[in-house]
């Protein structure tokens, strides 16, 4: 795999304008269609502003509008630097580390952190093949019983292709009416798909949904016997939990989904031929929901 180092970053993005220019080109790959002139026209950057102006009528366009950079006073280069940092470490980086690296306030670091994670939330195509489905509890202090009584813990459902991609989702509970629709939404129901779960009764109806279903008997300690295991999913859980413990210390239930998205983003891109930062750069012009 090719690498993309901080040296590469400094060369590609030496200034705020270089970042803005990148964003401009990513957003308008075929040029800007001027509403007033009713055609694609050349636009020139206006000095000291994050806008470009039509060569004929002077109408403005702002490449940052609607993106994660919308109305931010933080220099664009700091944003790009944050993306570089967040994409370049395996376990991720905390908002606190961003604060130090970028030399911004914690509040700003936290906002950047959250916005960049939005870019990391991506739509993964429905999973297929051998798909492990499992749930785990994250957060809280007590070891609660499964299904109920896990006080202060948040339930997370995972669906993971062996050797492929993963989807994780915070769910309200582990009841069948919660878990089964998630499977139907995210896993292809074609001939070769086999779903692996443990013996949680909520999964009893998986076969009735039209999937092949293999059950791992955790209680009988059979989880490594043959192909019936959910080890891939369990490995993902431990990476996620290690990341939360080691890097972020704790995560509120409210923010857990976006943490999951950034971990799973890295997981799903682990075999990419090109550096993750470049994949993330492909997303910069995406219009996101502003918060
Ligand atoms: Zn114009």
Residues 6+ apart with CB under 8 A from 206: 133, 180, 183, 195, 197, 213
Checking phi first, is residue 140 left (phi over 0); if not, alpha (psi -120 to 50) or beta?
left
- Token readout for 200 is 């949680």
DSSP string, 237-291: HHHHHHHIIIIIS---HHHHHHHHHHHHHHHHTTT-SS-HHHHHHTTTT------
Supply the pLDDT for residue 262. Answer: 83
Q: Are strands 154-161 and 130-138 parallel, antiparallel or unpaired?
A: antiparallel
Residues 6+ apart with CB under 8 A from 13: 19, 22, 77, 80, 81
Q: Are strands 166-171 and 154-161 parallel, antiparallel or unpaired?
A: antiparallel
Q: Would you mind telling me the total number of residues written for the chain in this entry?
A: 291
DSSP 92: -
How close is the Cα of 48 to the center of ligand 1, in Å? Answer: 21
How close is the Cα of 129 to the center of ligand 1, in Å? Answer: 51
How close is the Cα of 281 to the center of ligand 1, in Å? Answer: 28
How close is the Cα of 17 to the center of ligand 1, in Å? Answer: 22
Rounded CA gap, 12 and 6, in Å?
A: 10
Supply the pLDDT for residue 144. Answer: 47
H or E segment at 180? helix 176-186
Tell how far CA 173 is from the center of its chain.
22
Q: State if pTM tops 0.95.
A: no
Supply the pLDDT for residue 80. Answer: 97
How close is the Cα of 31 to the center of ligand 1, in Å? Answer: 12
Nearest Cα to Cα of residue 130 among 190, 177, 203: 190
How close is the Cα of 37 to the center of ligand 1, in Å? Answer: 4
DSSP 203: G
How close is the Cα of 58 to the center of ligand 1, in Å? Answer: 6
Q: Is-contact 209 184, C-beta < 8 A?
A: yes
How close is the Cα of 34 to the center of ligand 1, in Å? Answer: 5
Tell how far CA 9 is from the center of its chain.
22
pLDDT in 10s for each residue of the chain, 291 residues: 678 999 999 999 999 999 999 999 999 999 999 999 999 999 999 999 999 999 999 999 999 999 999 989 999 999 999 999 998 876 678 888 999 999 999 999 999 998 998 888 777 789 999 999 999 998 865 454 554 445 678 999 999 999 899 999 999 999 999 999 999 999 998 868 999 999 899 999 999 999 999 998 766 555 455 677 888 999 999 988 888 877 666 777 778 888 888 888 888 988 888 888 998 898 888 888 665
How close is the Cα of 21 to the center of ligand 1, in Å? Answer: 19
Supply the pLDDT for residue 57. Answer: 97
How close is the Cα of 36 to the center of ligand 1, in Å? Answer: 5
How close is the Cα of 5 to the center of ligand 1, in Å? Answer: 40
């Amino acid at each position: 795999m090719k690498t993309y180092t901080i040296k590469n970053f400094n060369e590609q993005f030496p200034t705020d304008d270089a970042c803005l220019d990148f964003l401009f080109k990513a957003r308008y790959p075929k040029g800007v269609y001027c509403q007033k002139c009713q055609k694609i026209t050349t636009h020139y950057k206006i000095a000291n502003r994050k806008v470009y102006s039509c060569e004929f009528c002077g109408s403005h366009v702002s490449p940052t509008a609607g993106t994660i950079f919308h109305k931010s006073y933080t220099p664009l280069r700091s944003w790009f630097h944050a993306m570089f940092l967040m994409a370049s470490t395996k376990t991720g980086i905390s908002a606190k580390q961003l604060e130090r690296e970028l030399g911004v306030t914690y509040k700003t670091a936290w906002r950047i952190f959250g916005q960049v994670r939005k870019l990391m939330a991506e739509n993964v195509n429905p999973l297929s093949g051998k798909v492990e489905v499992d749930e785990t509890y994250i957060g809280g202090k007590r070891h609660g019983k499964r299904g109920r009584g896990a006080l202060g813990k948040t339930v997370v459902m995972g669906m993971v292709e062996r050797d492929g991609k993963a989807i994780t989702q915070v769910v309200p509970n582990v009841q069948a009416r919660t878990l089964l629709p998630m499977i139907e939404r995210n896993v292809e129901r074609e001939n070769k798909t086999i779903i692996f779960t443990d013996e949680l009764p909520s999964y009893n109806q998986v076969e009735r949904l039209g999937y092949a279903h293999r059950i791992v008997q955790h209680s009988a300690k059979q989880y490594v016997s043959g192909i019936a295991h959910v080890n891939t999913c369990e490995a993902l859980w431990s990476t996620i939990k290690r990341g939360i413990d080691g890097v972020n210390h704790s995560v509120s239930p409210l923010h857990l989904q976006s943490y999951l998205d950034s971990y799973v983003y890295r997981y799903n891109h682990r075999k990419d031929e090109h550096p993750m930062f470049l994949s993330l750069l492909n997303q910069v012009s995406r219009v996101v929901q502003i918060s």
